[in-house]
Chain A
């Protein structure tokens, strides 16, 4: 069953929902990247919680007008309006009052959400409200989703995705160096507004599938995860879109196969699993790599210090240093250098002098920037350059050997 869902074998509707979710996940991952890079990630939490009163009010209005309260476009329209009101309120509070942005986010989020819950309770008491299914907007639900709903979600997600990609350059500038962007003639406040508009669109479109409580995760987890794998903005955007798409696809498929499980939490858990893998295993920024690198570095430091101590004929006090030197056969248990150790020590000493020389000369700037007291000098200089450096050292004074 689960396997069928992942392969889109559960019928036309489920397939449409899953694909719509994947598009939404991509739009959220791509749009969320710029939110994350601009360090405004939490604003999206205020936006999403501020949708609830809009959804409830739209339902009431549509029922009062004698229509079907569950019309998705109507509900999302209401959500967009109240989310926009919440967003404007946050930016007004943080720019025009002494309230900091985090406090503004907290107050707007809780007040709008609280108001929305009250309205939901009122709807429960209405005769048309019993089957409203508005609770589905809290945690996301694909159960009973209409074909037209899925189509609306898929199309809007695709449009949002295209818009974010279209604006990637101004968005990058606004996030990295807004002052420079302004000097190029870019209207940075308008770019920020556009970014928030796109985030709002993702949020509103995602309400039905992910739910308003967890949509923030779909905006933040993918870019944070993507950041582990690359140092380039464009790649963060691409990887984040991919991760968002995959998480939402798997989450929606699983939820279609297991109808009682809300969609949002599953999508978020899939995203979190990808995050955890990246946190641990990413090649440069991952934890495992960082710890291994640190331990390797520590060993190298001890070895180098030990060799320099041997070269100076100083005693070695640290047990770790002595152990490492002994393991390589460079020192005896009493801290006296072996013949090989003596050779290594002399080499370490000579390399120190060489480093000193190239760090003094601006012509060697690139090589010198690699200096960390450990890097082998042969890995940054050509043999000819080393001869040249040695020649200069020779002129300056005898090489201690």
Chain B
């Protein structure tokens, strides 16, 4: 009887956590054809923290994020953002897609890309005014790209392109920032610049979730981790969750013992 009470309480507190969570996913399943890429995944992101989504290649990290945002249609599952369906909370979400998803020969300049982050505010016909342009330039300055504003985007290096994507997300003034592999194929200077911006967002009370592939920087960059390999493996603080037992579960034989040692995990 007392046992029942405990579980109900635990369930109730979990429910409250979901209600408040900037991003709560329940029972999410996505499949390409008959093979699930993400199977029945639950995730509850902690507010005001930086969370890394990690897992081996093809584990469904990006797929989960895209399905939560409605970019891919899931087979099953619900996503809530601050307790409401994602479709009602678009103005609170800023998404930074993978760099590879875009045609870089597109006729658009750096500043135009950042202005896209203001499209929801501008509506269909709202004119781009000086204030909007200043806002976009501020966002570029925050990622150290202010001097590139009038370059065609194809002329930038990979890292610079990534920072422009981040500036576009900043222009949205969102509460929840979702980034898909922000550090993939970028130079060290960019990685530093991006992580500094993300930390400043967190310090301002925003929530950051990033798909991440470099295990060696997880502890340094993030507060929380979410481990996935098609199914959810574990989620929680880096200290408690980013441990060899869970990594073994997520990566299996793909992570050699030597690498585990290098990460200095308990």
Instruction: Point out residues on A near B: beta carbons under 8 Å.
Output: 37, 39, 166-167, 169-170, 172-173, 175-177, 179-180, 182-185, 227, 230-233, 235-236, 362, 365-366, 369
Contact = CB atoms under 8 A, between A and B. Distances in A.
Given A183-B90, A184-B90, A184-B120, A37 B106 contact: yes
Contacts of B90: 183-185
A182 B69 contact: yes
Contact of B112 (A37, A170, A233, A362): A233
Nearest to A166: B124
Interface stretch (B10-18, B97-105, B205-213, B244-252): B97-105
Given A169-B124, A184-B120, A232-B112, A176 B148 contact: no
Contacts of A235: 107
A370 B108 CA distance: 20
B93 interface: yes
Contacts of B102: 176-177
Nearest to A182: B71
B179 to A, nearest CB: 11
Contact of A369 (B66, B93, B108, B157): B157
Given A169-B119, A176-B106, 6 more contacts: A169-B122, A173-B119, A176-B102, A183-B90, A232-B107, A369-B157
A360 to B, nearest CB: 11
A169 B132 CA distance: 15
A232 B109 contact: yes
Contacts of A231: 107-109, 152
A369 B106 CA distance: 21
A230 B152 CA distance: 10
A179 B70 CA distance: 9
Nearest to B108: A233
B220 interface: no
Nearest to B154: A231
Given A231-B109, A232-B112, A233-B108, A179 B119 contact: no
Contacts of B71: 179, 182-183
Nearest to B116: A173
A175 B107 CA distance: 11
Contacts of A362: 189, 192
A185 B87 contact: yes
Contacts of B112: 232-233
Contacts of B91: 185
Most B C-beta atoms less than 10 A away, residue of A39, A167, A177, A232: A177
A267 to B, nearest CB: 24
B129 to A, nearest CB: 15
Contact of B108 (A179, A182, A232): A232
Nearest to B155: A369
A227 B71 CA distance: 29
Most A C-beta atoms less than 10 A away, residue of B66, B70, B119, B168: B119
Interface of B: 66, 69-71, 87, 90-91, 93-95, 97, 101-103, 106-109, 112-113, 116, 119-120, 122, 124-125, 144, 147-148, 152, 157, 160, 168, 172, 178, 189, 192
Nearest to A187: B70
Given A176-B102, A231-B108, A365-B189, A167 B119 contact: no
Contacts of A179: 66, 71, 95, 97, 101
Contact of A180 (B95, B144, B192): B95
B33 to A, nearest CB: 12
B109 A175 contact: no
A297 B98 CA distance: 34
A304 to B, nearest CB: 22
A123 B255 CA distance: 73
Contacts of B109: 231-232
Nearest to A229: B107
B122 A175 contact: no
19 contacts: A37-B106, A170-B124, A176-B102, A176-B108, A176-B113, A176-B116, A179-B97, A183-B69, A183-B71, A183-B90, A183-B94, A184-B119, A185-B91, A231-B107, A231-B109, A232-B107, A232-B108, A362-B189, A366-B147
B83 to A, nearest CB: 18
A231 to B, nearest CB: 4
Contacts of A166: 124-125
Contacts of B116: 172-173, 176-177, 180
A170 B123 CA distance: 9
Nearest to B123: A169
A209 B20 CA distance: 61
Contacts of B97: 177, 179-180, 183
Most A C-beta atoms less than 10 A away, residue of B108, B113, B144, B178: B108
A-B pairs, top 3 by smallest CB distance, nearest first, are A185-B90, A183-B95, A231-B152
A169 B118 CA distance: 11
Nearest to B178: A183
Contacts of A227: 107
B144 to A, nearest CB: 7
Given A169-B124, A180-B97, A175 B106 contact: yes
Contacts of B101: 177, 179
A160 B36 CA distance: 43
A230 B107 contact: yes
A394 B8 CA distance: 72
A311 to B, nearest CB: 29
Given A167-B124, A184-B119, A233-B112, A365 B144 contact: yes
B164 to A, nearest CB: 11
A233 B112 CA distance: 9
A36 B90 CA distance: 29
A182 B147 CA distance: 29
A183 B89 CA distance: 10
Nearest to A39: B103
B70 to A, nearest CB: 6
A177 B95 CA distance: 11
